[in-house]
Amino acid sequence: MTYFRKGFGLKAAIEGQLTADYHSAVVEQFRANDFRLTAGPLTFLLAREFGFCYGVDRAVEYAYETRRKFPDKRLFLVGEIIHNPHVNAKLREMGVVFLERSPAGAFDFSVVTPDDVVIMPAFGVTIEDFARLRDNGCVMVDTTCGSVLNVWKRVESYARDGYTAIIHGKSYHEETKATASQVTKYPGGRYLVVFDMADARRVCDFIEHGGDAAELARHFSHAMSPGFDFERDLLRVGLANQTTMLSGESLAIAGEVRQSMLRRYGEANLAEHFRTFDTICSATQERQDAMVTLLQEPLDLMIVVGGYNSSNTTHLAAMSRNRGVRTYHIEDASAIDVESGKLRYQPTVKQPEQVADDWLGAAKLIGVTAGASTPNNKIGETILRICAVAGVEPDI
């Protein structure tokens, strides 16, 4: 096995291509003008933290470097590098072949040979998938985000010490699958994925009062380790989180489980039954904090740009909607049809796209932000299309 994780030192060689693919003069104008841009009667306010985070930047750069390092080799990617259709399309144009899951749920590595190069995405891959690639003998290029690795170390330590990892996340998300798999490094390692506070309270109720374990097993059937025993495996728990979840919710869930353990076992015995985490992703936190600040403005409209399957992007949109601001989550600028004036958007996570006609209306103050996997050029193009629908020119 040949394994790379620290880059190839080719950043200077790919810098021009990255700039051409993702730079935006419009976004630079925002930065130069205190994150504000006017266009006729419209004023746009851009969140002060938005778009590509460090982990995404690194993953994308590393993928571009890999293509440059191995120009004559077949290059594969496990799933998507990040959850952004534009970035993934660019990699396809560069000849990267995307490995998909089979109907049974496992990635199909049958086409990979020892002569090929395989990129692992920013979310990471499961222990099982890593082992399959290692045994294949191919060249492995690992772009897993450092924040994700910190969570892995946390859940691994729980499993090592006999604690079940309770993970706040989406059981179907690549990152959570990879995180959950880390417990399998130790015999008896266990995990349980809770999606939200309602899930957490189901678990807390069982911790404190017991109940119908079979009903819980049905509810969490796709979100727990094989052979999970609610009577046995909730005696000692440690909390962890998918890095792109709402940080406030992750902390609140940890607090809720702590209180249940406190009531069940008492303060003197709490450390024997409960551990918590310090793995909130700083980039996710910064983008959510910036959204909170932006929502203090009297916005008429909020536009959130990013992949529909991007967890951190959908949470930013939810934050805005929950504050009562008219919010449109769009994948990219192509969602805005200048000719008809219509806009395609996702109302809430996993719902089908809808089309809005008079979405701009009489809006004058428009908030804009983007998920951590959204490149700057997609933000800039969105601003320009909104201006075109309104029939105005931005002051750039």
Confidence of residue 173 (pLDDT cuts 50, 70, 90): very high
Looking at CATH, the fold of the domain delimited by 55-144 is given as: Rossmann fold (3.40.50)
Across-strand partners of 151? none
In whole angstroms, give the CA distance from residue 254 to residue 121: 28
In whole angstroms, give the CA distance from residue 355 to residue 378: 20
Show the CA angle centred on residue 40, arms to residues 35 and 41, nearest 5°.
85
pTM for this entry: 0.92
Confidence of residue 204 (pLDDT cuts 50, 70, 90): very high
Selected catalytic residue, list 49, 61, 174, 175: 175
Tell me which residue of 213, 226, 363 sits closest to 302, measured CA to CA.
363
* pLDDT (mean) for 46-56: 95
Confidence of residue 280 (pLDDT cuts 50, 70, 90): confident
User: Chain-centre distance of CA 260, in angstroms?
Assistant: 29
Domain ranges of the chain: 8-51+283-390, 55-144, 150-280
pLDDT exceeds cutoff 90 at 291: yes
Altogether, the residues listed in the chain come to a count of: 396
In whole angstroms, give the CA distance from residue 308 to residue 344: 12
For residue 149 the two structure tokens come to 């690795």
Per-residue pLDDT of 137-158, as tens digits, reads 999 999 999 999 999 999 999 9
What is 150-280's CATH number?
3.40.1010.20
Show the CA angle centred on residue 84, arms to residues 198 and 30, nearest 5°.
100
In whole angstroms, give the CA distance from residue 350 to residue 205: 29
Element (H, E) at 328: strand 327-330
Per-residue pLDDT of 209-260, as tens digits, reads 999 999 999 999 999 999 999 999 999 999 999 999 988 999 999 999 999 9
Confidence of residue 350 (pLDDT cuts 50, 70, 90): confident
The reply to whether 55-144 and 150-280 are identical in fold is: no
Residues with Cβ within 8 Å of residue 134, at least 6 apart in sequence = 1, 3, 140
The CATH-assigned architecture of domain 8-51+283-390 is 3-Layer(aba) Sandwich (3.40)
pLDDT exceeds cutoff 80 at 104: no
Catalytic annotation on 175?
Answer: yes
